[in-house]
Structures are given as structure tokens and as C-alpha cells.
Structure 1
């Protein structure tokens, strides 16, 4: 596992430096591409974009997700954490938090902290949960600043559910109001036939029992007037063995529903925690998710740039913006492009409109974007063409740099993406 973690650290460090890389790109934009005034205006537009700034802050300052876990002993807390991470994590750093009703832990491996949790399992198992205990727990949870509350309930459990839901309602009301509450139905592999551990082989009867359990838990939540953001059935069943270095590795993987849980968490958490989670547990796919966020931001920026009276007079500004988007997506894959290479990719894709409005570009003086020949058009461009082309170029870049698509397919990918963008735009107008 040592080599795997070292590779992960290197990628984490690389992607974590993305915000600095972007700042350098704008600082080092060749002067023969756009003027200093245009560069400053484009930087100002980017810095005023809240979503982009949140994303950059998340990349600069990722932190482990913080969860409050509500569930009894044996509900599968540690197994779930291991299943989410895909690693055999150590439960470490129990912190004294001044109450016997909960414990605080970090989960880590090789010095990398994956999650921080407050485990409240003692509450449901105690005979009383008085006002004093409630206030103590409230202080603990609020000082912890959690990202979400995970209510864990064993699929085969029939007792105590009402009590556990009622206690969870008190916790949400007193200490976690406004946070996502995710009801996780654990150990669904134990439902009949329990001998079947491979999710792809779950028979119809087992799947029906899983749906019945979801329906049952939803009904109990409704009865107690408690709202959950999601009800997600999972199996954390993993058989571990030791690799040649003596580190635990997965021998048999019986996980079910874990990807759905991770998807939901990434969409629900504070962006710093979501980025840390994604980078820690599925490094490749989080790169694509980050790239998609940048496509969204740059697509909007392209439209803004096209409408700006100061910088829309030179179409090269939009090409510079699209070049930077290409370079960012390449960076997420572990590659770093120079402006010349990015320009060449843009030329092959048509630039600006990405085959929906193809430009014929004559590059002069090496990397200079100049003498753009657009019959019947000036150097200005409409916002819809600029935005749609930027979206298409971003999707083509994801296909090439992150999915390994063949270069010969990129024009078709960009064209399809442009059509997709236009359809989405039409549906919003309609």
C-alpha cells in the first residue's frame, strides 16, 4: 500500500496546486495574445465568480469530511468507513470531548486522514438521554462543525428503530439543524439469501427486501416528522488479506450502494470536504468532476467575456480563455501544456464555437493568435457561440485527457457536446 499512497500523495499535491497554476497561467498569458488591459479585465471577471472562487478555495484548503454517526454498536460504522475509502483504515486519535454520550475519532492510513467522526452510538443504548446530556452533545457537535449526519440502521434490525429515530430528531433539532441527514441502511448483504454476497448476483427476492427496508424506514421517519436528504441501502462487505508488504488489501469486494453514497456525499458536503473525499477515495473520477465544474464556470465566463464592451472587440481573448480551460483539464490528468500546444488543439477543434461555428485561424509569429479570418463577421462574437463553444471544447478535453479518447474522435465529441449545450439552452428557455 505504501507505493499506492505515495502515488496518491503526489497526485493530491499536484491537483492541490491547481489554483496556483491557474493564477500563473493568467499572469503568464503571452503579451502577443491579448493586451494587458484585456488580461486584467478577464482576471477581474474570474475573481468575481463566486463558484470559481469556492472551487479554488476547496483545492487550496481541502479537509477531511466530518460526520456525526448515529447508530448502535454493531451497525457497521467502521466497516462503512472502510468501504467508502476502499482502504483498511485505523480508528485513531480518540479525543476527549467532555461527554460520555459520544466519542470523536479520526480514520487514517499511512498518516493520511480520510474522515473525522463523532460517534453517538452510546445515546441509543443508554436508558436516559436527559437535558444535561443533550446540551453537552449540542456543544460537542457544534464545535465539531460537521458536514453531515449519518443515521445508520442495520437492514435486518427490527427493534429500537423508533427510539433511534426520535433521538436523531433531537440531535438534528438541537445541534445539526440545516445539515444533510443521510439515512444509511447497512449490511443489506445479510438479508435473505444472506449467503449471496456478490451484488451483481443479488436475486430478485433480496432486492425486493432491500426496497421494503427503505419503505419501512421512510415510513418511520415520516411518523416522527423527521426529514432525511436520502435513504441509501449499502453493503460494506469486504474480505481483507495482506499484500506482500503486510498491508491489508481487498481479497473479495462485496460492496453494494457505496458509489451512490459517495456521489451523494460529494454533492452535499462543503466543497473543501467534498474535494478531499473525492481525491482520497476515487482520484481519477474526482478529476473529471472538478473538470466539469471548471467547464461550467468557464462556459459562463465565455458568455460574459463576449458581452464585455471592453474585451469583446478581440476574439483572441475568448481563444485565450478556451486555451486556459484546456490547460486546466490537461493539468488534472497530470499533464502540463504550454500555450502553443493548447492553441494547436484549439485549431484542430475549430476554436470558439467548437465546430458549430468553425474559425479558420492563421497563426503568426509562433504562438500568436492573430489575423483571424471569419468571412462576413467582425472580431466580436455572440455570447451563445462563445459559451457553447467553450462547453464543447471542455467536454472534448475531458474525453481526451481524462478518458483516453482517440484524437480522431475529438471533433465529433465536440460537435455532439455543442448540440447538447444548445438543447439544454433551448429547454431552459422553454
Structure 2
């Protein structure tokens, strides 16, 4: 386990440095690539992009995700947290928060905090949860600043569901409005036949029961006019070794639906929490997910750059922009490129497929001249070409640097990326 955590900490430090690396790239753009005036203009565009700034902030200051857990005693909250992390975590009570209706915990191992939670255990079971208690809980939750509310309901539970949903609705309205509410159906492995714990061996009847339980919870939410961001059935069933708690290893893994829950959380959380979550539990995929965030940002920025009314000058700026995107993705793979090498790789990746990058630049150059006839028309075409080309370049770079794709695979990836972009434009 030690080597895994050493690797995690190194990755955290490396990706944390990416923010500084990117800032240096923009200040060190070669003068023979674009002019100082263009460089400053591009920096202005970068600084005005909220999504990019949020991403850079997340890289600089990742933090543990913060969840409010709602569910009855025995619903499997700690088991779910352990299943999410793949570690047997220590539940540490951090501070006294002044209410018996909730407790605050950090879940950690080897000094690394994976999650921070407020556990509203027993609220649905309490007969004394009055307006005063609600107001106290509201203050506690709002000061905690959670990223999401997780409503946990046992798959085998038949009673109390309506009451639990009603209480959750109160909590959402009073203290968590606007946050993602994730309805998690827990312990689906206990559905008949409960003896079958291997998800790959679930019989069709058990799979159908999981579907039925999910649909049942959806209907109850609808009856209470409570909207959830997702309904996700899971099993947190793990058999652990008999070592000391945080050193326990997984001897049998019966997890079901956990990857889907992690996917949803990474897409829905504040970027700082999402990056921390990925670094903590998905070392092998976090770089790719961060790369795709940058592709999205730089695709939009390419369109903004291309809307410049100046004929030809934006091509150099676009090349610089795409070079930086490529250098970022290379950095995520552990490589640092200079601008010369980045441009060489850019041309190589751009030339893959039936319609190469060079032809697209010529097409863009031609479209700019349309401004002389119909003001604005050429820029609109140019922006589409620039964004689509940047998106394809980014996808190819991820495949090349992070997945080790060969030339044949890259051709298919570029073709697919262009199709994806064009379909998104139509939608």
C-alpha cells in the first residue's frame, strides 16, 4: 500500500505543478511564433475564461469532496465510502458541530483524507426533529459547504421510504438547494438470490429486481416533488483481510455500480474536489479526465481566437494555442515538450486522416477573405473550423500521449473526433 500512496502523492504534486507550468508556457511563447501584441491578447482571452481559471484553481488547490449523507442506521454509509475509495478507511470525528442530529467525519488512511462528510444519521428515525433542530442542521450544513447530498436507501427496505424522502426534501429546501442530490440504492447484493455476490454472475431475476427497486424510488421522489440528479443502485460488498484497519486488503470484491457513481461524482463536483477524488482513487485515469477538461476549454478558446477580424494573424495564434494544449497533455503523461517539438508533433497529429490540419488551415485562411465581402461571415466559418480542429488535435494527443495509440488507431480517433464535434454543433 505504501508504494501506491507514494505514487499518489507524487502525482498530486506533479499535477499541482501543472498550473504553474501552464502559466509559464503563456509567458514564454516564442516571439517567432506570434507577436507580443498577439500573445498579450491571447493571455487576456485566457484570463477571461472562467472555466479555465476554475480548472487551474482546482489543480493548485485540490481538496477532499464534502458530502452530506442522508439515510437510516444500517444503510451502509461507511461501507459505501470504503467502496468508493477501495480502502478500509478510518472514520475520524473531526469537530463537535453542536447538534445530535448530525456528526461530521473525515475518512482517511495513511494521513490522506479521502472524504469529509456530515452524517445525518437517524434523522428519519427521530420523532423530535422539530423546526429548531432543522434550523440548527441548516446552519451546520451551510457552514460545511458540501459538494453534494447523498440519499442512501437500502434495496431491501420496504417501510419508511416515504418518510425518509420527505425529510430529505426538507433538508434540500432548507440547507442544500442547488446542490446535486444523488439517490443511492445500497446493498443490492442482498436482493434475491442474496447468496450471489459476484456482480458478473447476477442472474437476470436479480438484475430485474435492481431495476424495479430503482424505479420504485424514482416514483416516490416524483410523488414528493423531489428531484434527484441521479438514481444509482450499488453494492459495497467487500471482504477484507484481517490486518490492522487501514492496512486491510480486498480479498473479495463484490462491488456493483460503484464506478458509475464515481463517474457521476467526478462530473458533478467542484473541480477541486473532483481532481482530489480522481487522484485519490483513480490514478490511472485522472490524467485523461483532466486532459479532456482542457480539450473542452481550449476548443472554446480556439473559436474565440478565430473570431478575430484580422486576416491571417489568428492562424499563428491558433497554432500557439493548439501547441500549448498539446504540451499540457504531454505533461500529464510525464513528458515536457519545448515549443519546437510541440509544433512538430502538432503537424504530425494534424496530418492524420483524409483531411489534414494543413488543409484546414488553408480553408480557414480562405474563409477569412469572406469578411471582405460579407462582414462577419468568414469569422463564423473560421471559428467552427478552428474549434473542430482543436478538438480533434486534443483527442489525438490524449490517444498518443496517454493511451499509446498507433498511427492506424489515431486516424480512426481523429475521424471520430471530427464527427463528434460536427454532431455537437448540429445539436
TM-score (norm 2): 0.91
Instruction: Write the mapping of 1:75-114 to structure 2, written as runs, cut at 5 A.
Output: 75-114=75-114
Matched residues in 2 for 1:177 and 1:314: separation?
43
1:166 is matched with: 166
* Corresponding residue of 1:284: 284
Q: Per residue, is there more helix in 1 or in 2?
A: 2
Residue 15 of structure 1: how far off its partner (Å): 0.9
Partner of 2:67: 67
Report the alpha carbon displacement of residue 141 of structure 1 after superposing the two structures with TM: 0.9
Shift of 1:375: 10
| Cα RMSD (Å) | 2.5
Distance 1:173 1:376, change over 3 A: closer
Deviations 1:179-225 (A, max 9, x none): 22111110000000011111111101101111111122222222323
| Correspondence 1:242-321 to 2 at 5 A | 247-309=247-309, 312-313=312-313, 315-321=315-321
Structure 1 residue 171 displacement after superposition: 1.3
Distance in 2, Cα, partners of 1:245 & 1:272? 28
Aligned residue number for residue 226 of structure 1: 226
Query: 2:364, 2:385 within 8 Å by CA — same for their partners in 1?
Result: no
Partner of 2:355 in structure 1? 356
Supply the distance in 1 between the matched residues of 2:154 and 2:311 (Cα, whole angstroms).
Answer: 59
Range moving further from structure 2, 279-288 or 317-326: 279-288
- The yes-or-no answer on 1:332 pairing with 2:339 is no
Q: Are the aligned partners of 2:399 and 2:405 in contact in 1 as well (CA < 8 Å)?
A: yes
Which residue in 2 is equivalent to 1:202? 202
User: Is 2:308–2:314's contact at 8 Å kept on the other side of the alignment?
Assistant: no
Cα shift readout 1:257-303 (whole Å, capped 9, x = no counterpart): 11111111122222221222122221232222221121111112112
> 1:157-196 maps to which residues of 2 (within 5 A)?
157-196=157-196
8 Å CA contact 1:315, 1:379 repeated in 2: no
- Aligned residue number for residue 14 of structure 1: 14
- Could you tell me how far 1:157 is from its partner in structure 2? 1.4
TM-fit CA distance, 1:312: 4.5
Equivalent position of 1:152 in the other structure: 152
Query: 1:56 offset after TM fit, Å?
Result: 1.2
Query: In 2 relative to 1, CA 375–23 (structure 1 residues): closer, same or farther, beyond 3 Å?
Result: closer
CA distance in 2, matches of 1:81, 1:19: 30
Superposition deviation, residue 80 in structure 1 = 0.2
How many Å separate the matches in 1 of 2:357 and 2:107?
A: 52
User: Secondary structure of 2:250's partner?
Assistant: strand
Query: Shift in Å at residue 412 of structure 1?
Result: 4.1
The one-character-per-residue Cα deviations of 1:296-319 (angstroms, maximum 9, x if unpaired) are 111121122222135842522221
Q: Is the 8 A contact 1:354 1:392 kept in 2?
A: no
- 1:416 equivalent in alignment to 2:399: no
Question: What secondary structure does 1:256 align onto?
Answer: coil
> Partners in 2 of 1:275 and 1:50 — Cα distance?
17
User: 1:167 Cα deviation (Å)?
Assistant: 1.5
Task: Return the alpha-carbon distance in structure 1 between the equivalents of residues 315 and 30 of structure 2.
Answer: 15
Instruction: Classify 1:2/1:421 alpha carbon distance in 2 versus 1 (closer, same or farther; 3 Å).
Output: same
Q: Distance in 1 between matches of 2:132 and 2:363?
A: 77
Provide TM-score, normalisation by structure 1. 0.90
Moved over 4 A (4+): 242-246, 374-381
Conserved 8 A contact 2:83-2:238: yes
* Compared CA separation, residues 376 and 62, structure 1 to 2 (3 A): closer
Q: 1:31 to 1:258 in 2, by over 3 A?
A: same
Instruction: State the aligned residue count.
Output: 415
1:99-118 superposed Cα distances (whole Å, 9 cap, x missing partner): 11110000111111111101
Relative to structure 1, the CA distance from residue 420 to residue 101 in structure 2 (aligned partners, 3 Å threshold; closer, same or farther) is: closer
Aligned equivalents of 1:244, 1:405: Cα separation in 2: 42
Q: Is the 8 A contact 2:45 2:301 kept in 1?
A: yes
Corresponding residue of 1:391: 391
What secondary structure sits across from 2:262 in the alignment? Answer: helix
